[in-house]
Chains A and B, each alone.
Chain A
Amino acid sequence: MSELIKVGMADYKTGRNPSSLISYGLGSCVGIALYDSINKIGGLAHIMLPDSTQARSAENPAKFANTALPLMLEEMLKMGAVKQRITAKIAGGAQMFTFANATDVMRVGERNAEAVRALLKKMDIRMLADDTGGNYGRTVELRLDTGIYRVRTIAQGEKEL
Chain B
Amino acid sequence: MSEEILKLSTIQLDALKEIGNVGAGNSATALSQLINRKIDMTVPQIAIMPLGDVPDVVGGPDAMVAGVFLRVYGPAPSSILFLLPRDSAFTLVDMLMGRDQGYTTSLNSMDESALMEIGNILAGAYLNALSYFTKLTLLPSIPALAMDMAGAILSVILIQLGEMGDHALVIETEFTTENDGVKGHFFLIPDPGSLSTILAAIGVKE
- Chain B nearest CB: distance from A146 CB in Å? 22
- Chain B nearest CB: distance from A7 CB in Å? 10
B115 at the interface (CB under 8 A from A): no
A2 at the interface (CB under 8 A from B): no
| Contact assessment for A10 and B156 in the assembled complex, using a CB-CB cutoff below 8 Å | no
Classify chain A's interface size: 35 or more
| Contact assessment for A27 and B148 in the assembled complex, using a CB-CB cutoff below 8 Å | yes
Chain B residues 1 to 60 lying within 8 A of chain A, measured CB to CB, are 1, 3, 51-52, 55, 60
| Contact assessment for A137 and B166 in the assembled complex, using a CB-CB cutoff below 8 Å | no
| Contact assessment for A9 and B148 in the assembled complex, using a CB-CB cutoff below 8 Å | no
- Chain B nearest CB: distance from A95 CB in Å? 9
- Chain A nearest CB: distance from B128 CB in Å? 23
Chain B residues 137 to 165 lying within 8 A of chain A, measured CB to CB, are 141-142, 144-156, 158-160, 162-165
B64 at the interface (CB under 8 A from A): yes
A39 at the interface (CB under 8 A from B): no
| Contact assessment for A63 and B69 in the assembled complex, using a CB-CB cutoff below 8 Å | no
B190 at the interface (CB under 8 A from A): no
| Contact assessment for B156 and A97 in the assembled complex, using a CB-CB cutoff below 8 Å | yes
| Contact assessment for B144 and A9 in the assembled complex, using a CB-CB cutoff below 8 Å | no
The docked-state distance in angstroms from the alpha carbon of A96 to that of B149 is 10
The B contact surface, by secondary structure, is: mixed
1/0 per residue, CB under 8 A from B, across A73-113: the answer is: 00000000000000000000010111110000110100000
| Contact assessment for A27 and B152 in the assembled complex, using a CB-CB cutoff below 8 Å | yes
* The residue from B1, B52, B69, B142 contacting A9, defined by CB atoms under 8 A apart: B52
| Contact assessment for B153 and A98 in the assembled complex, using a CB-CB cutoff below 8 Å | no
* The residue from A56, A59, A100, A137 contacting B151, defined by CB atoms under 8 A apart: A137
| Contact assessment for B149 and A9 in the assembled complex, using a CB-CB cutoff below 8 Å | no
| Contact assessment for A49 and B163 in the assembled complex, using a CB-CB cutoff below 8 Å | yes
1/0 per residue, CB under 8 A from B, across A3-23: the answer is: 000001111000000000000
Beyond A25-B62, A57-B1, A154-B147, list 14 extra A-B contacts (CB 8 Å).
Answer: A9-B51, A9-B52, A24-B61, A24-B62, A25-B55, A25-B151, A25-B155, A27-B148, A27-B151, A28-B159, A56-B165, A97-B145, A108-B160, A135-B146
Nearest first, the 3 closest Cβ-Cβ pairs linking A and B are A25-B151, A137-B152, A27-B152
